[in-house]
Amino acid sequence: MEKKQGFFSALREEVARGLSPARARARSRSESPRRSPSPVANLLLPRRWKRQPARGFPAELLVPASGTLAPLAEGPEGDGGDPRKEGWGRWVMGQLSRAPSVSAPSCRSSDLRLLLGVMGAPLAPVHVSLANPLPHLSIKDTPIETSTAQYILQQYTAASGGLKLLSSIRNAYAMGKVRMVASEFETATGIIKNRNSPKDAESGGFVLWQMAPDMWYVELAVGGSKVRAGCDGNIVWRHTPWLGAHAAKGPIRPLRRALQGIDPLTTASMFADAQCIGEKEVNGEDCFILKLCADPQTLKARSEGAAEIIRHVLFGYFSQKTGLLTYMEDSHLTRIQSSTGGDAVYWETSINSSIDDYRAVEGMMIAHSGHSVVTLFRFGEVAMSHTKTRMEEVWTIEEVAFNVPGLSMDCFIPPADVNRGSVSEACELPQVERERGRNVMAGSHRAKVAAVERSHNVADNNILWRVEV
């Protein structure tokens, strides 16, 4: 009985410690997918704990589909069974598998993979370094679109808490909850299949750590799967259950999730080279529109093999009333050449995010909720090959803290096997759809690309051109 009590006490202690970047990095450096034994076997071998105390309890089993931790009991409770009859090992496995879930697996595994791949940890279009100061407002020898954008960014910085306060932040921490669902799938015949209803959305949570300059780490667990991503200032990497650890192509870039009202200084720095293209009413609020395009060198560095990123554009909508960022449109177009030597296929990925519920946290205005809609549009010459997938995400921030004591650079060390190769964003697109590229004719690809480009033309009738200085 002494050993049994010690076992569950140690297990409870591991659960109470929670997730942290340092623990995740330690596990990534010490474990290999080919050599790691069963997690439950590690639990049932106290001697292994003595040899490898840093491993602890694998976080993958601690995050159920609902995003919350299941309570652990030291004895049978209700229908939990009797450990004396079925054995302590099977009883522990049964307790861990009794974690509550939102529903039965409503999304297929491919849907969940697409959700986490595209919405889990997307990056901003361009490189941003907080070491570079924000540009001063300049009117002389400066285009009116650029000077107006600089003025809007100054108003945004002031509304977010002021440049002095924002520059004093050495590190930050945020924890929140997410609900994701692959809501619709549309084919060229016009038939829309509702894969899942909102009540069947996959729930989960995320934790985000940031440290100046240019370091960040995020964990997102949804539907029993987890995506990790980070940047140590030199390399951006991701770890997914289906691709393992890999570096991201191109220069280091900030996490898009941090730009959704959590990191005002990085947001202002990213739009430093943007242009004001007009104004538009969004959700009943008049907003200025800033447009940011990735340069050709960045697009070329992010491309890989048969996957070529043609453009990546980001639109930021800043409220004329509050000066805060209230809406973002993120769109990039990728051309993928078939591996069989056939014709290419084009993918357009669009992420539109509403940013709401700004609250003051230690003097800074931080958004505490939002809603994102992701659209994957695949098109080519053959009309019957067009498909469109729509996914949604609702997120809320539960806790935010700045200048957390004890956070060091060691918490952002990438996994040891991340240097094996880099992967572009195109790897997250559905493999089946990419292989169908050989059935697509390339005769009018240029016309199709031009049509997509025109959809983002600034001459939209809904945009009012009124720039005043």
CA angle 61, 65, 67 (to 5 degrees): 85
Average pLDDT value over all residues in the chain = 75
**Residue 142 backbone zone (phi > 0: left; psi -120 to 50: alpha; other: beta):** beta
Retrieve residue 103's tokens: 């529903």
CA dihedral 454, 460, 461, 462 (to 10 degrees): 140
Least confident stretch, 38-47, 106-115, 263-272, 338-347: 38-47
pLDDT at 202: 87
pLDDT at 213: 86
The DSSP output letter for 89 is H
Burial of 216 (0-12, 13-18, 19+ CB in 10 A): buried
Taking CA atoms, 411 is separated from 20, 162, 209, 217, 218, in Å, by 8, 28, 9, 8, 11
CA dihedral 151, 155, 157, 161 (to 10 degrees): 160
Instruction: State yes or no: pLDDT of 207 exceeds 50.
Output: yes
pLDDT at 305: 81
What's the farthest any 2 CA atoms get from each other in the chain?
83
Pure H helices in 273-325: 296-302
Burial of 410 (0-12, 13-18, 19+ CB in 10 A): exposed
Instruction: State yes or no: pLDDT of 52 exceeds 80.
Output: no
pLDDT in tens, 425-454: 777 777 544 444 333 333 334 444 444 444
| Among candidate residues 254, 229, 234, the one with its CA nearest the CA of residue 244 | 229
pLDDT at 65: 43
Residues in CB range of 72: below 8 A, 6 or more apart: 8, 11, 12, 15, 95
* Distance of alpha carbon 287 from alpha carbon 315, whole angstroms: 11
Instruction: State yes or no: pLDDT of 335 exceeds 70.
Output: yes
pLDDT in tens, 142-152: 788 988 999 99
Is residue 395 very low, low, confident or very high in pLDDT (cuts 50, 70, 90)? Answer: very high
DSSP 3-state assignment of 150? helix
Burial state string for 102-129 with b = 16 or more CB within 10 A and e = fewer than 16? beeebbeeebbbbbbbbbbbbbbbbbbe
* Distance of alpha carbon 245 from alpha carbon 418, whole angstroms: 5
Q: What CATH topology corresponds to 112-454?
A: outer membrane lipoprotein receptor (LolB), chain A (2.50.20)
pLDDT at 141: 72
| Among candidate residues 99, 367, 96, 120, the one with its CA nearest the CA of residue 219 | 120
Per DSSP, what are the bridge partners of residue 182? 391
Instruction: State yes or no: pLDDT of 131 exceeds 80.
Output: no
Retrieve residue 427's tokens: 């790897």
Instruction: State yes or no: pLDDT of 25 exceeds 60.
Output: no
- H or E element that contains 291: strand 285-293
Looking at per-residue confidence, does 222 or 47 come out higher?
222
pLDDT in tens, 61-73: 344 444 444 444 4
pLDDT at 359: 96
Instruction: State yes or no: pLDDT of 178 exceeds 60.
Output: yes
- H or E element that contains 399: strand 387-402
Is residue 418 very low, low, confident or very high in pLDDT (cuts 50, 70, 90)? Answer: confident
pLDDT at 420: 62
Is residue 17 very low, low, confident or very high in pLDDT (cuts 50, 70, 90)? Answer: low
Retrieve residue 222's tokens: 């949804």
Task: Tell me the Cα Rg of the chain.
Answer: 24
- Domain positions in the chain are 2-62+67-97, 112-454
